[in-house]
């Protein structure tokens, strides 16, 4: 059922998701509160992702297939947000809530109903989600690559007011940390609901490779985290993964971005807020 007083838009970038897209979309159509529009952006898929989406679109008019041609290069952050933006369109501000979702997830049936109730109860809540779980040893366990208070990139829902205030999503690696930092900077609350367990069919890369460490270093630079916080984060990654070379790769990438004076996602003032927030998080865990 749909509530006439609110409109919900979900945008889903998809690239070669034929293995997962059917299970994902079945969980969408089984929602107790379906989106008013689900716009799926097929971004250069070389498998039958688009044809599978088209079948659902024929059966459910609120599902829309959008075809996008983009660079075949792997550009973390920029590529997925480019696809998201092309699906967002110019009419996004006619919706009350906007979501960015991935095509490799399975939602619990009440996902949107519970999230919308949470967002509508308080205008202060700007970003909301459940938690991601991955299959391991025959069961589903929490995907522990982020704290449970962090709204993960594949399952984000924003109020329109918050989405407007943060200026949308920024096409850089680290965008899914920047948005929640900016939401807090603008006075919004960020909420995760542990009772909403989302199955993640394709687990996120765990950061063991040098390439992923370099991506992490670039993200830390773009987030204006500063040298010390970036070094702490890179060192934590190396300790967690038990690989001493990872911090070196991360900080080397950070330095390269710094030397090139690459543009940052956050302004000086926003970066100052982000650094203060991170220090508060660190001190709260120590004391």
Tens of pLDDT, residues 54-81: 999 999 999 999 998 876 666 666 889 9
Q: How many residues does the chain have?
A: 287
- The per-residue pLDDT for 2 is 45
Q: Could you report the per-residue pLDDT of 91-104, keeping only the tens digit for each?
A: 999 999 999 999 99
The burial of 286, by beta-carbon neighbours within 10 Å (0-12 exposed, 13-18 middle, 19 or more buried), is given as exposed
What pLDDT does residue 72 have?
A: 64
Taking residues 31-46, what's their average pLDDT?
96
Lookup result for tokens 């650094």: 275
- Nearest-CA neighbor of 192 among 136, 114, 121, 113? 114
Tokens 């609110």 locate to 6
**Between residues 210 and 25, the one the model is more confident about:** 25
Contacts (Cβ under 8 Å, ≥6 apart) of 17:
24, 45, 49, 103, 104
Residue range 142-189, pLDDT digits in tens: 998 888 999 999 999 999 999 999 999 998 888 999 999 999 999 999
Given this model, what pLDDT does residue 77 score? 67
CB-CB neighbours of 156 under 10 Å? 23
User: Is-contact 175 77, C-beta < 8 A?
Assistant: yes
Q: Which band of pLDDT confidence, cut at 50, 70 and 90, is reported for residue 244?
A: confident
Residue 49, both tokens? 């992702």
Q: 3 pLDDT exceeds 60?
A: no
User: How many Cα neighbours within 13 Å face the side chain of 41?
Assistant: 22
From 33-42, 113-122, 162-171, 240-249, the region with the lowest mean pLDDT: 240-249
Which residues, in sequence order, are bridge partners of residue 39?
11, 64
Q: Give the number of other Cβ atoms within 10 Å of residue 260's Cβ.
A: 9
* Beta bridge partners of residue 8, listed in sequence order: 97
Q: What percent of the chain has pLDDT over 90?
A: 72
Q: For strand 139-142 and strand 125-136, is the pairing parallel, antiparallel, or unpaired? A: antiparallel
Pairing outcome for strands 8-14 and 105-106: unpaired
**Which residues, other chains included, contact 239 with Cβ-Cβ below 8 Å and sequence gap of 6+?**
none
Cβ burial of 235 (10 Å; 0-12, 13-18, 19+) is: middle
**pTM for this one?**
0.90
Structure confidence at residue 208 (pLDDT): 54
pLDDT, position 207: 44
pLDDT for position 1: 39
**Residue 223: Cβ within 10 Å count:** 26
Q: Does residue 104 sit in helix, strand or coil?
A: coil
- pLDDT over 70, % of the chain: 94
Q: What are phi and psi of 130, to 5 degrees?
A: -90, -155
Q: What count of other Cβ atoms lies within 10 Å of the Cβ of residue 102? A: 23
Mean of all residue pLDDT scores within the chain: 91
237: pLDDT strictly greater than 50: yes
How far apart CA 106 and CA 20 sit, in angstroms, is: 9
Position of tokens 């710094």? 258
Rounded distance, CA 224 to CA 60, Å? 43
DSSP symbol at 97: E
| The two structure tokens encoding residue 26 | 């079945």
- Does the structure show a pLDDT above 90 at 134? yes
Q: CA 176, CA 149: separation in Å to the nearest integer?
A: 13
């Amino acid at each position: 059922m749909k509530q006439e007083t609110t409109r919900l838009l979900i945008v889903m970038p998809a690239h070669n998701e034929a293995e997962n897209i059917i299970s994902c979309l079945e969980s969408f159509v089984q929602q107790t509160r379906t989106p008013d529009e689900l716009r799926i952006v097929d971004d250069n898929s070389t498998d039958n992702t688009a044809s599978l989406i088209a079948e659902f679109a024929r059966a459910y008019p609120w599902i829309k297939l959008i075809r996008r041609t983009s660079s075949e290069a792997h550009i973390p952050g920029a590529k997925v947000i480019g696809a998201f933006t092309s699906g967002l369109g110019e009419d996004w501000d006619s919706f009350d809530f906007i979501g960015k979702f991935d095509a490799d997830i399975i939602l619990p049936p009440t996902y949107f109903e519970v999230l919308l109730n949470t967002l509508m109860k308080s205008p202060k809540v700007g970003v909301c989600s459940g938690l991601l779980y991955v299959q391991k040893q025959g069961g589903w366990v929490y995907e522990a690559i982020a704290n449970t208070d962090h709204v993960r990139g594949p399952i984000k829902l924003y109020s329109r007011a918050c989405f407007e205030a943060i200026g949308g999503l920024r096409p850089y690696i680290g965008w899914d940390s920047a948005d929640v930092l900016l939401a807090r900077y603008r006075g919004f609350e960020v909420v995760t609901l542990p009772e909403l367990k989302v199955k993640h069919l394709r687990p996120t890369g765990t950061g063991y490779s040098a390439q992923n460490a370099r991506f992490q270093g670039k993200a830390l630079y773009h987030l204006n985290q500063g040298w010390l916080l970036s070094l702490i984060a890179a060192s934590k990654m190396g300790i967690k993964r038990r690989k001493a070379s990872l911090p070196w790769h991360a900080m080397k990438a950070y330095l390269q971005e710094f030397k090139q004076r690459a543009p940052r996602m956050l302004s000086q003032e926003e970066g100052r807020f982000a650094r203060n927030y991170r220090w508060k998080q660190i001190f709260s865990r120590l004391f």
